[in-house]
Amino acid sequence: MISLLLIGFVMVALWQIPSLVRTGWWKEIIVFMVLWSAGLILSVIVSMGIKLPPISTIINKSITGMFGI
């Protein structure tokens, strides 16, 4: 599963980066790499079965607790 994920992410990078390098859009490459890396790390975590905190549930608990809904 993780190897499939890595192949997918490498394909995305290979599809985007060469054209960005050719045009010399370095800022766009940096932003792309930051977002791509975040996506890769989180995807690996999720595929390994590690539970990420459910954001909407946390927001809901905070709001209902705060306002006594």
Q: Which residues would be at the binding site for other proteins (CB under 8 A)?
A: 12, 15-16, 20, 25, 27-29, 31-32, 35-36, 38-39, 42-43, 46, 51-57, 59-64, 67, 69
- SS3 letters across the chain: CHHHHHHHHHHHHHHHHHHHHHHCCHHHHHHHHHHHHHHHHHHHHHHCCCCCCCHHHHHHHHHHHHHCC
Considering the complex, what minimum distance in angstroms separates the CB of residue 65 from other proteins? 10
Beta carbon of residue 56, minimum distance to other proteins (angstroms, whole number): 5
- Identity of residue 36: W
Min separation Cβ 6 and other proteins, Å: 13
Q: Closer to other proteins by CB, 3 or 69: give it.
A: 69
